Amino acid sequence: GENVEQHPSTLSVQEGDSAVIKCTYSDSASNYFPWYKQELGKGPQLIIDIRSNVGEKKDQRIAVTLNKTAKHFSLHITETQPEDSAVYFCAAIVDRGSTLGRLYFGRGTQLTVWP
């Protein structure tokens, strides 16, 4: 099946700085890549997603880039704020056969934004 690796596992930044989280995937057939944010005691919440036919997508301070050739995708958060502190998960889906409907998640990045 698909294998998604995520780095770094922890990331500390000063308020106002940028944060970048990187993920790689193994199956070139993966075609959908969401990012989820999980705050303490809550379930994960989708913050942005990208499909394999798009190279970049932006939503205010958040952007995601996808490099299909290298099989990696990244989350970029600009002008970070303390409320951005959370665990971020990348994920990928290979929509075929036995993997239908199955999201493969990375192990998460604990982002801490210091005021």
Q: Under the rule (CB under 8 A), what is the footprint of another protein?
A: 1, 6, 32, 34, 36, 41-46, 49, 51, 89, 91, 93, 95, 98-108
Minimum separation from the CB atom of position 94 to another protein (A): 10
Minimum separation from the CB atom of position 109 to another protein (A): 10
- For residue 55, give Cα distances in angstroms to 10, 41, 66, 72, 73: 26, 33, 5, 11, 9
H or E element in which residue 20 lies: strand 19-25
| CB closer to another protein, 18 vs 102 | 102
The sheet that has 19-25: what strands, in order across it? 4-7, 19-25, 72-77, 62-67, 56-59
Minimum separation from the CB atom of position 12 to another protein (A): 18
| CB closer to another protein, 29 vs 79 | 29
